[in-house]
Chains A and B, each alone.
Chain A
Amino acid sequence: MIKIEKLNVKYGEKVIFDDLNLNIQSNKITGIIAPSGSGKTTLISCITGLKKADSGDVTIDDKTIKSRDIYNDVSMMPQENGLYLSLSAKNNLKYFASLKKIKLTNEEIEKMFKDIGLDKEIDMLVDKYSGGMKRKLSLIITLLGSQSYLFLDEPTVGIDPIYKRLIWEKFKQLRDSKKTLIITTHVMDEAKHCDEIIILDHGKILIQDTLANILKKTEEENLEDSVIKLIKGANNEN
């Protein structure tokens, strides 16, 4: 389980999190829905050790994040793809695999590319890839290795509907194989696949529950209306 207690983060004068408390259950798909600039990337950075909080505790399976050993448990798919444009897709995959100390055979690499529909573009320079293709490559790099916590920032942006469906099926398989997925998304339709949804605004958790319960609590028929209602309600309170 990921446990966040009294998390405080400031950028200069701007307060991002003020005593934030949050628990994320293991072996589930948790979706984080948040308007832009509401702190979701900072939250992921704090959990994955890229950023240290000013104060507060973050633990993963009761282990405090204080060294790079965390990357044995955590894998990340950043919002920006973080791919080497002047390398071929295959060489990108091989490079990141070598950083994870994974040796891949050519057959394994070809299968990975085939599963995601990039088998014909395996040797193409990433510079020539479309946005959706880059996203697919970024995803297969993130899924390399045996890390049990996967942080995926907008994983399906730009990906065509057929592969989107395949990817969500893959996510569910990963969950069933005891992995924990934390996914940020703007696509409400995708949130229905999540076991739990967190709605975040201005560094505060507005609600954390299943989709059905959120709809029930907000007395709305779809998630989009629930999100708007919750954010408006929070702004009125402020």
Chain B
Amino acid sequence: MKTKSAIAKRIILELKSDKRTIALLIVAPIFLITIIAFLFNATYQNFTIGLVDQANYDLNINNSTTVDYDSSSNLEDDVYDQKVDIGLVISQDLISINDIIDYNLDENQAKVLNKYQIKYPDLEVPNIQILKTGENPLYDQYMVSEIISSIETDTNIIDQENIKYSYGTIDFTIMLVMEFLIMFLSFLTVGIAFLRERENYTLERTLSNNIKRNDIIWGYMLGYGSIAIVQSIIIEIYTITVLQIEVFANIPLSILVNILFALFAISLGMFISAYAKSEFQVMQFIPIVIVSQLIFSGVLPYGNIYQILSKLSPLTYATDAQVKLLLQDSKAVGVDILVIILLILLLNIITSRRLKKTREV
């Protein structure tokens, strides 16, 4: 442990004299999350709902303007012609919550509904049909979640405690961007730092001592991991207080997921730099190991093959864990956390073997 903490201490001392890197690791994610939050708020505010309200619920849906229609066929035509952003038909009759089959829900919203179904099996809810243009799946998803949460609040069908954990597209995107940035920046910083150890022969010099190859790897995890802890806490506090994303169901667990994912990025950085010949090559690996993860992490809603590919992207597990935490589903994140830990161990074992190239005994 003494060797690992000596290496970690050295890394922190090096970073202390490199204020720009520290700023990059902490300020850059905050800056980009803020931009994206503003971008989403600007784009996704004030959509137009075409409404056929036979039940006279007199709904008040967040961020929207309502245009009333007499019949659902007229509304269908206007949705088709994109005269309104989304259509909403509320029938006179109530239906049992168990009969809701076509609620236009994504996987996570279905889970919320499922919880209600278990808790209130006899509940009757308004019979609602949502008509989507299909023009922009992300936008549709956002509007649907706004409508659902407004209906839930307005009709008072479920106690308020449960409702606030419905989540929207913005929250999902911010989670994704947050995890992606934590990974990208840690990967880049560690990847280049570890490569420089080889280029400057400090790795060789460190290994010319009676220390285990593994000590270097876990010393790096400890050093950069300490920075990841600070980074995660600051970003989390910022997201909750400044961006007012009040969806963190379990803050310590959410911070833990961030830290674990940063550790994964540190392992990935060491792994790639152990195989790269230059800093330039570390950069060349970015499209393969980083950008591909973003593409497969759930940001693009494509078919089944995409679903399978997304399971191969570590970013999926981190984002999935955060989204589950938004839904207050703390127990379900166990698998995601386990996958991330296993990936860290696997990468570290391979990197440690690769270090044999520097010291063979």
Tell me the bound Cα distance from A76 to B205 in angstroms.
Answer: 8
Contact pick for A96, options B13, B205, B212, B359, CB 8 Å: B205
Does A81 belong to the interface (CB within 8 Å)? yes
Does B3 belong to the interface (CB within 8 Å)? yes
Q: Given A80-B200, A87-B10, A99-B211, A49 and B17 touching (CB < 8 A)?
A: no
Does A50 belong to the interface (CB within 8 Å)? yes
Q: Is the CB of B200 within 8 A of A85?
A: yes
Residues of chain B within 8 A (CB-CB) of A226 are: none
Min Cβ gap A202→B in Å is 23
Chain B residues touching A, range = 20 to 34
Q: Is the CB of A48 within 8 A of B208?
A: yes
Residues of chain A within 8 A (CB-CB) of B14 are: 84, 86-87
Residues of chain B within 8 A (CB-CB) of A78 are: 201, 204-205, 208
Residues of chain A within 8 A (CB-CB) of B13 are: 87, 91
Tell me the bound Cα distance from A77 to B359 in angstroms.
Answer: 15
Contact pick for B201, options A51, A72, A81, CB 8 Å: A81
Tell me the bound Cα distance from A152 to B204 in angstroms.
Answer: 14
As a 0/1 sequence over residues 76 to 107 of chain A, the CB contacts with chain B under 8 angstroms (1 = contact) are: 10101111111100010001101111000000
Contact pick for B360, options A51, A75, A76, A125, CB 8 Å: A51
Q: Is the CB of B212 within 8 A of A84?
A: no
Residue of A nearest to B211 (CB): A99
Residues of chain A within 8 A (CB-CB) of B359 are: 49-50, 68
Contact pick for A50, options B3, B6, B208, B211, CB 8 Å: B208
The residues in B between 185 and 224 inclusive whose CB is less than 8 angstroms from any CB of A are 200-202, 204-212
As a 0/1 sequence over residues 283 to 310 of chain B, the CB contacts with chain A under 8 angstroms (1 = contact) are: 0000000000000000000000000000
Does B361 belong to the interface (CB within 8 Å)? yes
Does B331 belong to the interface (CB within 8 Å)? no
Q: Is the CB of B10 within 8 A of A84?
A: yes
**Which residue of B3, B206, B208, B212 has the most chain A CB atoms within 10 A of its CB atom?**
B208
**Which residue of B18, B209, B358 has the most chain A CB atoms within 10 A of its CB atom?**
B209
Residues of chain B within 8 A (CB-CB) of A66 are: 361
Residues of chain B within 8 A (CB-CB) of A76 are: 205, 208
Min Cβ gap A74→B in Å is 8
Q: Is the CB of A49 within 8 A of B360?
A: yes
User: 4 other contacts beyond A50-B204, A68-B359, with CB at 8 A cut-off?
Assistant: A49-B360, A85-B200, A96-B206, A98-B2
Can you list 11 pairs linking A and B with CB atoms under 8 Å apart? A50-B204, A50-B208, A71-B209, A75-B208, A78-B201, A80-B200, A80-B201, A81-B201, A82-B202, A84-B202, A99-B209
Top 7 nearest A-B pairs (CB, nearest first) are A82-B205, A49-B361, A82-B201, A98-B6, A80-B201, A52-B360, A71-B210
